[in-house]
Amino acid sequence: MKWNTYLIREELKDILIADHIRSKPDRAVLQRIRICPQLPEETEKDTLYVTTAEALKSKKGVGAFICPGMTESRPAGDLLCVREELSLYEIYNRLEEVISRYEEWERSLQEVIALHLPARELFVRSASVIHNAMLAANEEFGFLFFHNPTDQNVYKESPVFAPHIEKVTLGNTGMKDLLQDADFVKTLNSRRPIYYPGSSRRRKKLIQNIFMRDSLVARLIIDGVDADITEKDILLIQILAEYLSRSISESNVALTNQPKDIEDLLRSFFDQSYENRNRYLRILTRYHWSDEDTYLCISLSSDKIANRDNVLNIFSLNLCHNIREAYFVRNNDESISIVIDLTRNQYSVEKIAEICTGTAASLNMYYGISRSCRSIYDLHYAWRQSLFAVRIARRQEKRLVYFDDCQLEYYLSEFFRENTADMAMPDGLQRLLKYDEENDTQLVRCLSVFLENQGNYAESARKLYMHRNTLLYQVEKIREVSEMDLDSPNTRIVLQIALKAMEYGRV
């Protein structure tokens, strides 16, 4: 856990006599405590030094400092002065006690997430640390969140939000009144804790917004009804909000925050059913996309059968959040496709693939990446390419497959839509198969390796673990049995396609 000087100052009010704090209350950089009667030559910014007023006279280093008694010294970092009669070890033990209590609190929050307990449990375990965590104007633990009227049924079905839905629905009149409050409007887009001075009960509140993919999904509020809000609360509300964000993501609630119009638009381009182009162009413009931008499609699937839908939903949401300029659509075959606007995205295709593979193994996820397409109207082809690539990834047990690396298999699969595998097999190859079966030989395997190595005898012999002269004999035997000209480029292409057809069959 990281903490800051404001938290220490609040916890040591009974022994504090002076403070000089330069840092901001919403920044937490401290991670360790050190007793230093004599300060080191270079101090560290993530350390709180328990030292003497005398030692501070010659040091102006970074970090934070606490000392018994008053001092005229003003180090570059924060400074707390406590009662003079306290020893350095008494101060250190008091600090250890404070930090241990907060670290235990954070461990309990982590346990809630690991055990997939309801988000409400995060509030219950925070009661002794954060006072007056509020749900709207009710003195209880919970969320204040906003939604469109059309989304209300979705939230009612949520195990996380359902217990609170009736209490937080403000109605059109109540919401309109709030949105006319200038101070309230300022809080809507804030990424940091922000004060709201007014409410229906005229209480000062500290608000931390929780966002998913730039959509506000929850608001954590500390209400100043019973106790004054302090700078310490700014740090604590950020920590709790981080765990709430993870809890909401894992509860699958945040998935509903993807705009439905962009999802419907992408689905229509997948299906090539976009008759009303002007309407779709207006939607694209609303999300700052263009029909002439370059797009990429990534399809993902999981081999984790249990709870597969939830795994895919959670990961798609997080992936879109990390990549940005991306939205996803659920397919009918238990996979999800993500569309990324490469023109407006900050990452290259290689960087996006790196983000995918960095988390794929732990979540048993497979990815298929399409070629980029130069227009939104070509998205149908990119979508099909990514779906095919992810099927190849699952079949070959590779975490990620580019469509460019499986084009031959794709063309074969298209061929097999109308034809059988035998139609792709020339007569000469059929004669080789029959000869191998009758004579217990491996001429077809020898031919496959020979063609893969561009007719290079030395490399082919090495991969087949045979002498070069033996390979020369076998290739001549292949020519004799198949009655095919292996020196002809056309013959080689036909044979390679046929051999791939034997290997992959219908994909």
Q: Are 456 and 403 part of one and the same domain?
A: no
- The tokens describing 85, both together, are 């009669």
Q: Is residue 411 included in any domain, yes or no?
A: yes
**Which CATH number is 484's domain given?**
1.10.10.2840
**Which CATH number is 318's domain given?**
3.30.70
Q: Are 134 and 47 part of one and the same domain?
A: no
Q: Is residue 226 included in any domain, yes or no?
A: yes
pLDDT at 61: 79
Percentage helix, strand, coil for the chain under 3-state DSSP, each rounded to 5: 50, 15, 35
Name residues whose C-beta falls within 8 Å of residue 198's C-beta, 6 or more positions apart in sequence: 181, 183, 184
**Half-sphere exposure in the Cβ direction for 116 (13 Å, CA):** 6
Q: Is residue 402 included in any domain, yes or no?
A: yes
Q: How far, in Å, CA of 484 to CA of 447, rounded? A: 12
Q: Are 354 and 443 part of one and the same domain?
A: no
Q: Is residue 112 included in any domain, yes or no?
A: no
Q: How far, in Å, CA of 386 to CA of 380, rounded? A: 10
Q: Are 269 and 406 part of one and the same domain?
A: yes
pLDDT at 491: 87
State the DSSP code for 424: G
Contact (CB, 8 A) for 321 and 327? no
Q: Let me know if 149 is exposed, middle or buried by CB neighbors in 10 A (0-12, 13-18, 19+).
A: exposed
pLDDT at 93: 95
Distance set, CA 151 to CA 146, 254, 450, 466 (Å): 10, 12, 61, 68
- The tokens describing 110, both together, are 């982590």
Mean pLDDT by 10 residues, the chain (507 residues): 92 94 90 92 92 85 91 88 94 94 90 70 76 42 35 44 42 48 73 74 71 66 70 88 74 49 85 79 84 91 60 65 78 84 87 75 77 91 94 87 88 71 77 90 90 88 90 91 88 83 59
Q: Are 187 and 333 part of one and the same domain?
A: no
What total of structural domains would you count in the chain?
4
**Which CATH number is 149's domain given?**
3.30.450
Q: Is residue 114 included in any domain, yes or no?
A: no
State the DSSP code for 144: B
Q: Is residue 70 included in any domain, yes or no?
A: yes
Domain edge (last residue) among 64, 79, 106: 106
β pairing state of 295-302 and 365-369: antiparallel
Contact (CB, 8 A) for 415 and 424? yes
Contact (CB, 8 A) for 125 and 259? no
Helix runs in 21-83, H state only: 53-56
Starting at the edge strand found earlier in the chain, the sheet holding 194-196 runs 133-134, 215-223, 205-212, 194-196
Q: Are 289 and 265 part of one and the same domain?
A: yes
Long-range Cβ contacts of 25-31 (<8 Å, 24+ apart): 25/231, 25/232, 25/234, 25/235, 26/192, 26/193, 26/234, 26/235, 26/238, 28/2, 28/3, 28/4, 28/235, 28/238, 29/2, 29/4, 30/2, 30/3, 30/4, 30/5, 30/64, 31/1, 31/2, 31/3
Contact (CB, 8 A) for 123 and 148? no
Domain edge (last residue) among 234, 254, 274: 254
Contact (CB, 8 A) for 80 and 9? yes
Domain edge (last residue) among 372, 391, 416: 416
Q: Are 92 and 128 part of one and the same domain?
A: no
Q: Are 243 and 268 part of one and the same domain?
A: no
Contact (CB, 8 A) for 89 and 68? no
Q: Is residue 115 included in any domain, yes or no?
A: no
- The tokens describing 381, both together, are 């082809």
Q: Are 401 and 428 part of one and the same domain?
A: no
Contact (CB, 8 A) for 122 and 109? yes
Q: Is residue 12 included in any domain, yes or no?
A: yes
pLDDT at 406: 87
pLDDT at 211: 72
Could you tell me the residue range of the domain that residue 454 belongs to?
421-504
Q: How far, in Å, CA of 62 to CA of 70, rounded? A: 19
Q: Are 267 and 408 part of one and the same domain?
A: yes
Q: Are 498 and 407 part of one and the same domain?
A: no
pLDDT at 146: 36
pLDDT at 306: 46
β pairing state of 78-82 and 47-50: unpaired
Name residues whose C-beta falls within 8 Å of residue 304's C-beta, 6 or more positions apart in sequence: 311, 363, 364
pLDDT at 189: 73
Q: How far, in Å, CA of 293 to CA of 486, rounded? A: 46
Q: Are 266 and 411 part of one and the same domain?
A: yes
